Amino acid sequence: MSPAGIELGNCVTINRNSTISGQGGLKIGDNVMIASNCSILTSHHKFEKKDIPMMFQGENKKSIVIEDDVWLGVNVVVSPGVTIGRGAIVGANAVVTKNVEPYSIVGGVPARFIKNRFAENNK
């Protein structure tokens, strides 16, 4: 866990074995549930140069925003630069590479829209 650059809201639960980095900036809203073994990564290694080992090329850093009332299931990976909208659910084992709309349910690798949480939005 890299606490620098992390802003936590009220009533946030982060379960065991989760990895959270704040190098690129991370904002987690209120009432967020993060299940076990999640990885929230605000940076990735650079790999563009063939003549320099990847471990020496530095990092690309982008902030992540997890809005209020979000539930991340077990083993979820959130990639740099992503916003997860208010009230969203990310299913177990999903890899989130793009923004998640508010009150939607996503899952898979990469994570894709499954449905909205509320029936009036599923018409």
Kindly list the catalytic residues.
45
Neighbour-count burial for 109-118, b at 16+ CB within 10 Å, e otherwise: eebeeeebee
Distance CA 101, CA 118 (A): 13
Q: Which one, of 72, 76, 65, 74, lies nearest residue 99 by Cα?
A: 65
Q: Per residue in 40-60, is it b (16+ CB within 10 Å) or e — as a string?
A: bbbbeeeeeeeeeeeeeeeee
**Cα dihedral across residues 94, 79, 36, 102: positive or negative:** negative
